Amino acid sequence: MEKNRNIYLVSDLHLGAPNHEKSLIREKHFVRWLDEVATDAAALYLVGDVFDFWFEYRHAVPKGYVRLLGKLAEMADRGVQIHIFAGNHDLWYDSYFEQQFQACIHTRPVIHELLGRTFYIAHGDGLGPGDHGYKLLKFILSNPVSRWLFARLHPNFGIGLANLSSGLSRHANEQKPQLKQYLGKDEYLYEHASQLHEVRKDIQYFVFGHRHIAVEDDIAPGAKLIILGDWIDHFTYLAVTPHEVALRTYPLHPLP
């Protein structure tokens, strides 16, 4: 691989879930992967739900994640550009990561040129047809008034309430195994990408997180849908090099 030319995209770590002990194992594993890719990375894209919950109070942020945050700062100091996308679990980013390591925070889909290829990148929640209830909820939660109101809660209560809500949502989704099945042309991200490609023929790759499934699928000649998987079950990431665009796996092994 050519030094400092590759770009890596990864999503859905959900650090903090389901508990500190299991989250710490995955965080250490992810940091080991960051150590490896940092040797040839030009940019790192964290495409949403890095944390199972994140909120930036004026003078405080959720405790923990020191290994990840330290590694991201180290990579930024070495010249790696860090991009962080707000997901449905960590939608309340403010200026903390920008101040600490000049990260670019994205709250909406972006179209970026990566090594001569055109990518559409988004977390994936709230896109495509249907799911109007969730789209309304996201609109409400993304409103600055909602953020201001939540900031009035003491962190002990606010973060505890958010973690409880996230746990209940995760339990409910676990009862619906069909949510982790790829639906092909009936997949709402496939539909979203296909519709967008009708008006933006120049986009070659449509990259999403959110669905916790690892997928590569052609949506048209020269246009591919990629869903990044997660770092809970799959430990997958997208490598963009001068020579290829490919989903890869960094299997979880017991720490020494």
Query: Where do the structural domains in the chain lie, given as residue ranges?
Result: 6-249
Q: What is the DSSP letter of 143?
A: S
Place of tokens 């894209």: 45
* Longest CA span, the chain: 52
CATH topology of domain 6-249: Purple Acid Phosphatase; chain A, domain 2 (3.60.21)
Query: Residues 1-19: what's their mean pLDDT?
Result: 86
Which run of H or E residues covers position 8? strand 6-10
pTM passes above 0.85 = yes
Instruction: Give the residue with greater pLDDT, 40 vs 165.
Output: 40
Instruction: Give the residue with greater pLDDT, 170 vs 104.
Output: 104
**In terms of DSSP bridges, do strands 205-208 and 117-122 run parallel, antiparallel, or are they unpaired?**
parallel
pLDDT 10s digits, 71-113: 999 999 999 999 999 999 898 899 999 999 999 999 999 999 9
Q: Quick count: other Cβ atoms within 10 Å of Cβ 227?
A: 27
Helix ranges (H only) for 143-242 are 144-151, 155-174, 188-199
pLDDT 10s digits, 110-158: 999 999 999 999 999 989 887 778 888 888 888 889 888 888 888 888 7
In the structure encoding, which two tokens stand for residue 153, read together?
């809660």
Query: Residues 57-64: what's their mean pLDDT?
Result: 88
Q: Report residue 3's pLDDT band, with 50, 70 and 90 as the boundaries.
A: low
Q: Which residues contact 151 (CB under 8 A, 6 or more apart)?
A: 55, 57, 58, 158
